Amino acid sequence: MDYIKLIAGLALLIFSGDYLVKGGVSIAKKLKISSLVIGMTVVAFGTSAPELLVSLQAALKGVPEIAVGNVVGSNIANIALILGVTAIVYPLSVSKLSILIDWPVMMLATILFTLCAMDGNITRIEGIAGFLLLIAFVIFQIYYSRKNNIEMEEDNEKPVNLWLATFYIIGSCIGLAFGANLLIESASNIATSFGVSQRIIGVTVVAFGTSLPELATSIAAALKKETDIAIGNIIGSNIFNMFCVIGLTSAISPISLNWNAFRPDFIWMLAIAFTLILLILPIRKFFAGSNPDGKRLQLLYKAGKLGRTGGIILFAAYIYYIIKLF
């Protein structure tokens, strides 16, 4: 029965992820907001809903290691596994906004999350502060996009009606939550039967399960050539995981954790986040020299790219991380 639930949950996640992209892109076009911002906000929140539900339930049920492991493992999987696989399927262009603003915010959130966890307690005040930082970031994203008239990527798909797009998003978020719950319940039962610890279950099985919406959504977005949503979804989801999931969870129920046990996972999370910027920056163009007018030098700030080679590096790192856990 658990295996049937696992397959059903996976199917529901893939189906919901596709419609979340459709709804998000349509709303972006109707409101004249860039796809990147929609990916960083609406889509990122939708795909992070499973992490929020699982972490809240875990904290309230007295298993904080699953709550923390879920977020740390999801953040590692989002970049190393999901962006890696997505880039292998379809190389991703990375916008100036992602390089100069979104990645630094994600890195800052990762560092703050690590600092808060180092004493073994994530308090209510820390959780509330993180959530307020998220609200400020979302407001800034929308304001910056509208003020600078950031253009959207062109595609051949017609935007759907605004009400229908809203229905797609709401329905998809519900589908993602139910699909993730089905998959997590079945996968956790299977893993527990082998005597695996709560931390390992949290950073592997639960994290992978709650990251499947991001995988489904990012691949769907990449295949539709909405690469801004694919990138924005992952970076935004990681920011939401730390500021919203951990923020709200610890605000409701302070989180205690064994820092010594989680230290290697936090180091991996920091290292993977830093590796991402090294892979997407067009470093070769930067060091190739510049024309007299300096145009070549400016390429560093215009766009980047996560190609198949970078995707393979990230995916290989994730496989190595999982092997090291066991």
- 77: tokens are 């999987």
**Domain region containing 57:** 2-325
Q: Tell me how far CA of residue 267 lies from CA of 129, 182, 250, 294, in angstroms.
A: 23, 30, 21, 38
Judge whether residue 192 has pLDDT over 50. yes
Number of domains, the chain: 1
Where is average pLDDT lowest: 137-141, 191-195, 253-257, 262-266? 191-195
By the 8 A CB rule, do 296 and 289 touch? yes
In whole angstroms, what is the distance from residue 257 CA to residue 67 CA?
A: 10
Where is average pLDDT lowest: 78-92, 172-186, 261-275? 172-186
- In this predicted structure, what is the pLDDT of residue 160? 66
Q: What is the CATH number of the domain that holds 67?
A: 1.20.1420.30
Q: What is the pLDDT of residues 102-131, one digit of tens each?
A: 899 999 999 999 999 999 999 999 999 999
Q: pTM of this prediction?
A: 0.80
Q: Residue 165 CB: number of other CB atoms within 10 A?
A: 21
Judge whether residue 152 has pLDDT over 60. no
Q: What is the pLDDT of residues 39-48, one digit of tens each?
A: 777 777 777 7
Q: What average pLDDT is seen over the chain?
A: 81
> Mean per-residue pLDDT for 178-204?
77
Q: What is the pLDDT of residues 209-223, one digit of tens each?
A: 778 777 877 887 788
Q: What is the pLDDT of residues 204-254, one digit of tens each?
A: 877 887 787 778 778 877 887 777 667 777 888 899 999 999 999 999 889
Judge whether residue 288 has pLDDT over 50. no
Where is average pLDDT lowest: 6-20, 94-108, 292-306? 292-306
> Mean per-residue pLDDT for 83-102?
84
